[in-house]
Structure 1
């Protein structure tokens, strides 16, 4: 039973070797671009040469695209084995081991049961797909030779662990439990199969030797049968050996054909000495030596010195059994002295636990690819250097989802943040936009993404050191795919130009305001001086015409009075000019009570004379930022007015309060005087020479000057008043 099982195992392994040669041959038809060449022709030859193979396939990216013969296998076309639970695990195991693996017996997509061998194919160190053979289960059983050993004494069984249920499944007819019988078993690791040979009956040695007389009677017959069997079995085995020899010769012939005419360089090398044993034409073409010259050389002689040690280290690991094969990119020096870049794959020709002897090296010339990669890297470096030299931050990012995918190093110089900080946080750009600009900038970005249109905006960002940086963001749209777009833009630092623009606008605003004031002042001068000069001109004419001395004296007295009024008007206008031309008055932090007390001291006589009561509710710690001279003038004007315009029927009461309102320090001056008709005079209240009472001391200049002083200090003034009840002025200090 052991001998028979050994022969069956050899038959199975020969079938697997044929499949392996077929898959390698198919893999060699795939060019550097990943496209098969002459698939139909090569596949037809393989199927005709190997009776144990029913079909061959190429499976790029796990999808069956090429099948020969196509007839009867149409249903398998475009089938994705990586998405099928029945095939996925076996396919992934082949990829992981980088070796051929046989799955099945399993249900085939095109119908029936079969065994599928898949060899993973890698191009430029990237998984391309599979080269595969399909063996119908009946064909597989025929190749094992089970039918040659039919007997009523034993039978065969094949089993495999189901990759989904992890239970052992049996595939031949008799699946009865044979664990109690004296069976023999061998394993086929390429497909994780177990082959069993099982006796048909349980052994009963005592019955066979009982009775002794019966055994003696048949002893001669048994000996004869034994001799006959002994002579017959070697004959059968000899036939099998001859058949296997013919198959092996045919496989060697096919291998030699592939070796000599392969599109890749192949060398046969002594793994101990490194000497070349043989090489194909393509290998000779790559390195420029003839086959006779190569046989007198070793691989160390043509390997670039800088790559030699790494190659030797890998070979040592291969010999020690640490790795099953290795691939690497290295340089050869050809016969003319030129450097050739190649990708080599080294596979041992010794079995596991055997002493290392020879290995096969598959060589792919990648010089052009390396040159192209070098040019690409140089171009990328030039582009990077160009981007880094631009006086602005070049960036690229998502349009709909937040996140910067690329930003140039200039961001560190302009905004202080490294590219790594930008890319590590999807919301980083949003976080460093100035809070006052953030909402509208994000909204505009989202709107442009929806409408797929570029935009050009100016907004503020926060530098890493906390400063505000004005930027101009010029953004364009580019399409990654039909449904995916991205932003590309450049951030330009416009802080200096923006500051210049702001300063220019401020200057323009100031000039405009000054012009308005100047125009207003000219109107005032024109109006007020015209009346005075007209009076003077009239009086002079009357004096010249007068012949009465007394009349003359009276006219001169009138002229003097008009002259004094003119002088007073000019003084008032000088005060207005001094306020309006003082562009940057000195600002100090002043104690409010100190200046109130000083004002009350100045107005002592007025307070005593009018029996006025002053209620100062302001605490000693209250301060305001104001010009000292302006504060004295403002307090003097408002407090003196509160006393001057008292109600005739009651004693004046002036109440002073202070509080904070909307970041302003407010001074409230409240009186119980005659009040103001705001409906009638509210719009003229702070005009020059505007009076609203019959008080002879009223000149209409105080409120005008105080209003100008408060406006100059960026403050404001509000008034509440009711006739015959009183007035409240609220002065807002910035």
Structure 2
């Protein structure tokens, strides 16, 4: 931005105009920041709800497994065998289960544990109007049906899952599992977020048709986010809202106050400067330009804000007799065997070993024999499929008893976890690569323990301090390394890092200047366990900075330095996110960090191009997008998609930074999504990116030949961070768009170049 040189006269009017403009810009920035922070709260609630939903569904699935195994105690003659023993093992091995029941002919006759539940023995649930309807629903569904939450006869609020049990094709009764609401809430993790969120769990009562609430109601809280749990008995609704401290409004008023103060202050100085010679007026123009650029940079940085669940797990369930022959199996087990082990159909009475290769037989036989010896246990197994590829399975083994207590067979429940294991191994490879990057980084990277002793350093650090043997470095302190005088300020900032604060400082050793950053490293309990330091030799940079300050280089050099510093800062942020990700064990959070790193890199590339070109007011979109797509493609193809072809038809023209960054962020999201989800087994994988411009209108087209969006996902109704970010950038560009999500993905959007900041021009 460049201010015009005002002629003499009317200095008061000009100063008032400048003050009003600054106040208006400040109020716009304040409102945008307030809106972004409020939206972040909504996204944060949505993330927490996804986590709680996943935990609730995992608890319900575990209870379903227990109810299914309990039903196996009913023999072909309708007699119940070894109820106490099996129920005891099930309660012990299924932490979410509180009570197990067998209900022959609708009357509760078997309860474990009996203590505290004696009052329900003999209770006829079919003749009680309060329970009859839901019991009949369980019978009609011929599957497990979860009723409740409801008040138990023996006291307490609980969820009850019932499975109909048939003997010789006639209804014998029900196998039931009870989860107290205290257990369900504890395992859901709701209390872990009670300091910042309030939740409510509700359901439509099938008897009354009214919505009932099962968590303490805190009126007048309005739940901004709600979701529906997909459970066998129907829809439960889990709602939540953020109730922690709201700093958004406080920050809004602070920014308004700052804007008012700055508008008055600058108007006052502007009035005085207009009355001074031309030299003073020129300096005012320079200062005002810097102020507007700082505000614009603040707005951009404020926009860089960071932002489950799959259906019940598919389980392979089957039973074997003591000769390893099938007694029963479900459809998913048959499908799994045919997909991975054999092309032959399996039947009741077949030996399971006929479908397995030699290596898998020996591993599984050992587990089967343990179960035949009366042991119930869980074990992860590594098996080879018929093509020789590794597969990983999580298995639960449990014996089946006769009336006399003798083991007559076993039941096995299996869940394929190959994808999870492979992702864990891939994560381990990435961690090793990150360690190698640190080791060979040109920046000195070292770690300090809580006692202030240096415990690690990379090769660049050894060279920087002239240390040949790393053992001469390990265990020493900063006073020993830098001297008492230089270490005073360093130790002060180190103490701040121990308090969880990031810090940065400069120091001098042997007439060379260095800059160091202290970053605290936290454990899972958010406790500082060590501090990481990054040190750069800035001797030459400091000399150049002093030279620049003395010579007052032209504004082009200053703007270039700004882009350079922004790019470096974004690189440091990206590096810190990579290091923080290495401390996490949660794959989902690591994936979120990877996505954030990609977005930061797409922004940093804009500043890199701005820095490398002589024209600092615009960026060459063709160079930017080719470099960005090449970087994303290289990263994603290293993960396994090594045959994806890019087809680029990009016109060579220039846009300002306000238009280039949203385009880069959108393409980063779209390309990453195509690599991760669009391509399956087709050999010809292509991504097309086209950029055309006519006059002031720019049209960008993105297309892949993948599988398209899965059923139930609507591009126009974003429900995840990626699609939300794409829609946010479309809104920022004020673009019109059209999208197709079947037979591949297609998105075309058009926007008009606006005169905000440096103007765009085709070249």
TM range (shorter): 0.3 to 0.5
Structure with max Cα Rg: 1
Structure with larger RCO (C-alpha < 8 A, sep 6+): 2
TM-score (normalizing by structure 1): 0.33
